[in-house]
Structure 1
Amino acid sequence: MEIYGFCAPGLEPLYDTFAANFRECGDSGAAFAVRQHGELVVSLWAGSADRNGETPYTEDTLANVFSSSKGVLALLVLQQVAEGRLDLDRPVADYWPEFAAAGKAQVTARQLLCHRAGLVAFREKVADSLIYDWPGACAQVAATEPWWEPGSKQGYAPFLYGWSLGGLLERVAATGLLQLYRQGLGGTLDLDGGFGAVGHKSSRIADVGPLKQPLPELRENAVGRAIKEDRKGPVAMAFTNPMSLMMGTNSAEWRGALIPAANGHFSARDLATIYGDLAAEQPRTLPKVLVEEAGREQSRGRDAVLQAEVSFGCGYILSGRAADLRFGGEHGFGHPGAGGSVGFADPDRGLGCGYVTTRLGQSLFMDRRSVRLVEHLYQLL
């Protein structure tokens, strides 16, 4: 496997670790990037962007990063706070009156960001086509009843996170989410991709598919067990209602839709650039005080949906002790995506990191491929 790109002096051993992911872990198209103190110090890519192995993977290839999209959406929310248009502790219904339905009148944007709103899944069966209907999905979220008293416990919202916060953003800013992204992030940082897979700087789109040989897991699949135990419970409904949430991620319909919690298409360089900016002494995208708020613990506990101990800041998972949730240093924060992608910031080292892959593992957090790259990176720093 030929590896392309570069590593700054002292970081060259990362070539071998990246190559080992192809030899030993089933990668067939992937990229890894690191930006530190404003400089791109690692950018590696290899393999193919299509299932037939005919289209080379490039530095600006966009891959679906699934829930790594959430960290990008959270940044857009915090930008509206910086602009004075949004108060995290005011009820969402103050900006979006319809959202007050079904017991959500006092739910705040902060609760949505740190997964304490109880709005983890649609309670009633919805049509498979709903996820491709942005206004319809936002309206359905506004009408949905929380699964428990808002604020009473932590429960991750795999998909409704995007429609609830995205719908709020559009009402606060009085403009479309894609326009907000292009103005506040895509253009500012000269990013390759964005939400969905169309209309971005790069038009190189990778096909994604499962790993041919699943990796040994870093933790038990407690989510899968919870889904089997209660097919109508909040965990099962969060991931499978509708079933189209789990299928068709290479389709034109999926790529053309706006599903901001799950269908962001970014390069590894994009994620490293976004988080490298957040880790900088003087970020371009957000005032330092709000970067600190993003990385300040808002909620901690055994998550009712993820079935694991997780700590959340404002829109980000905070670095923890477990290898698959260790985002560099003690004050690191970021967001992994189902299948293996991850982006994170380490403010202590002024570092942003991104890894994307076309071969999807089973982990909801980081898997062995990104863990070994990050661990080796920190050994070399």
Structure 2
Amino acid sequence: MNVPWRLSDRLKGGHFLYDVHFKSQGVKAVLIEGSVSLGFEGVKQAFTELFTDYHEVGAAVSLVHRGVTVVDLWAGSRDKAEAQPWRQDTRSNVFSASKAVVAIAILQLVEKRLLSLEQPVADLWPEFAQNGKQDITVRQVLTHRSGVNAFQGKVPDTAIYDWSMATGLIAQESPWWEPGSEQGYSPILFGWILGELVCRVSGCNSFNDYVAQNIARPLGLGWKFGLSSGELAGIADMAPLKVPKSAAVNNVKSGSLLTNAILGNPQGVTAKAFANPPSLMIGTNGVPWRQAQIPAANGHASAADLAIFYGALADLDDERLLTAEARSWCWEEQTQGQDNVLHCPLSLSLGFMRLLPRNIQSERFFCHPGAGGSLGYADASEGFGFGYATRAMGQSITLDDRADHLLQAVYAAVRD
């Protein structure tokens, strides 16, 4: 799309500050704010194109390269009425991108030898041993091979907001298949299983307490599970990404696979994993959701939080989260193949997905996308951590077209 726009750049502290205004037929005037270092202007251009070509309404992108923030941009609105502007520190629900924090919490405890990857979960949580789960290991949960993917029976809507109720129900569950025999993504239960282990092993009163002390505070992050009343007003509202039928073909196709699996077999594992209870699908803008601790799905973070977190993992000299020796756990493949829940091929490391943008090759990469499009991503071979946060929810299962578009520009910049 050819869009008339005005660019004013002012050099400040080694960064260019961009004020980009564009207005065209069907496109509202949008102000893009933030900073971009020399050599990374292509990422700014790609971010601008999200609003002109990809129907973005409110989002941010951030990039940390070799320990330095080189891109930090935001634009659009953060509320349903599109009256409140997105700000530098705006946090949104990044959904399953939250799982990265869960994974690192577990890997920190493994590195400290407070638990083992091969240890049965039931060694630390005896109630979990019920109904054929006694031998499920920490590794199997981290790699989505536990078979504990979803609640099988009907669950009250309120269960997802009550940690004790949720973990109590999980303890009574049976695996959907023989643990370790097949790969099946666990969109929600993953977080409570591993989060309960974090609490039991660390002695912290809650999962969020552990994150605050061992992940957020050392990095200066605002990433949080369970918001206080005073934090609710600044959170971005989630809404469907409004695209024409001809747009985002890959996302529509991948989203349709999941939708067909849910609608075609309402009692199957995919339907149960994403829609049991129904509050998983309809409660995400509500106060109960935002104030609960649902580690696999309701972390609230900014794009900068995502980039700083992944940037620390991509920089092998930065040992605030994991030592350099332990870092390979993040990118080394543990399992791959057709996923029984997502119905697509998937490669996984210990708690992370191994996804690459189209036509990009690399070695030490890892990430976790969130429902709707948000993404945290690292490439230790190139030394960068990337974060994209959006409130416009697309239909992608794994790598959203918008995130892919941004990453194409990131790789072009770091490899130039």
- Using the size of structure 2 for normalisation, the TM-score is 0.88
* Residue 246 (structure 1) aligned with residue 281 (structure 2): yes
Question: Unaligned 5+ residue runs, structure 1?
Answer: none
> Once the 2 structures are TM-superposed, how far is the Cα of residue 200 of structure 1 from its aligned partner?
9.5
SS in 2 for 1:147: coil
Q: Identify the range of structure 1 (258-267 vs 194-203) with the bigger mean alpha-carbon deviation.
A: 194-203
The answer to whether the aligner puts 1:209 opposite 2:239 as a matched pair is yes
Task: Give the distance between the partners of 1:94 and 1:102, measured in 2 at CA.
Answer: 15
The 1-side partners of 2:238 and 2:361 are apart by 27
Q: Which residue does the alignment assign to 2:300?
A: 265
Q: Point out the structure with max Rg over C-alpha.
A: 2
Contact 1:217/1:363, CA 8 A, preserved across alignment: no
Structure 2 SS opposite 1:181: helix
Residue 103 in structure 1 maps to residue 139 in structure 2: no
Partner-residue secondary structure (3-state), 2:388: strand
Query: What is the aligned partner in structure 2 of residue 352 from structure 1?
Result: 385
Q: By how many angstroms is 1:203 displaced?
A: 6.7
CA contact under 8 A between 1:61 and 1:202: conserved in structure 2?
A: no
| Cα offset, 1:192, TM superposition | 1.8
Superposition RMSD in Å: 1.7
SS of equivalent residue, structure 1 residue 317? coil
1:241 deviates by 0.6
C-alpha separation between the residues in 2 aligned to 1:246 and 1:69?
A: 17
Pick aligned residue for 2:363 from 308, 326, 330? 330
Measure the CA separation in 1 of the matches of 2:116 and 2:316.
25
- The CA deviation string for residues 90-141 of structure 1, in whole angstroms up to 9 with x for no partner, is 1011100001111011101110000000001011111111101111101111
Q: C-alpha displacement at 1:201, in angstroms? A: 8.7
Q: Which runs of 4+ in 1 moved over 3 A?
A: 196-203
Tell me how far apart the structure 1 counterparts of residues 328 and 232 of structure 2 sit (CA, whole Å). 31
Show the 5 A alignment for 1:19-30: 19-30=48-59
Give 2:7's aligned residue: none
CA distance in 1, matches of 2:313, 2:231: 21
CA distance in 2, matches of 1:351, 1:14: 13
User: In the aligned structure 2, how far is the partner of 1:17 from the partner of 1:292?
Assistant: 30
Aligned counterpart in structure 2 of residue 189 of structure 1, from 191, 201, 219: 219
Cα drift, residue 199 of structure 1: 7.9
The whole-number CA distance in structure 1 between the counterparts of 2:164 and 2:374 is 28
In 1, Cα distance between equivalents of 2:270 and 2:285: 25
> 1:275 corresponds to which residue?
310
The counterpart of 2:70, out of the listed 16, 33, 41, is: 41
Aligned residue for 2:249, secondary structure, equals coil
Distance in 2 between residues matched to 1:228 and 1:199, nearest whole Å: 36
1:295-346 residue CA offsets vs partner (Å, 9 max, x unmatched): 11111110000111101100000135x63xx887332001001100000110
Are the equivalent residues in 2 in contact too, given 1:48–1:55 (CA < 8 A)?
yes
Q: Aligned AA for 2:298?
A: N
How many equivalent residue pairs? 378
2:102 is matched with 73
Q: Are the equivalent residues in 1 in contact too, given 2:225–2:291 (CA < 8 A)? A: no
**Greater relative contact order (Cα < 8 A, sep 6+):** 1
Tell whether the 8 Å contact from 2:330 to 2:351 is kept in structure 1 after alignment: yes
2:409 is the alignment partner of 1:376: yes
For the residue of structure 2 that corresponds to 1:277, the secondary structure is helix
For 1:114, give the aligned amino acid. Answer: T
- How far 1:226 sits from its partner (Å)? 1.4
- 5+ residue gaps, structure 2: 1-29
Give secondary structure in 2 for the equivalent of 1:288.
coil
Distance 1:303 1:27 in 2: 29
CA contact (8 A) 2:208 2:226 kept: no
State the alpha-carbon separation in 2 of the partners of residues 344 and 130 from structure 1.
31
Q: Which region of structure 1 is more displaced relative to structure 2, 165-174 or 256-265?
A: 165-174
User: Any conservation in 2 of the 1:318–1:327 contact (CA below 8 Å)?
Assistant: no
- Aligned amino acid, residue 319 of structure 1: L
Aligned equivalent of 2:291 = 256
Residue 144 of structure 1 and its aligned partner are, at CA, apart by 0.6
One-letter amino acid matched to 1:184: N
Distance in 1 (alpha carbons) for counterparts of 2:411 and 2:263: 38
CA distance in 1, matches of 2:35, 2:399: 23
Looking at structure 2, the residues matched to 116 and 149 of structure 1 have their Cα atoms a distance apart, in angstroms, of 9
Q: Does 1:222 align with 2:248?
A: no
Give SS of 1:293's match. Answer: helix
Identity of matched residues, %:
43
Amino acid at match of 1:160: L
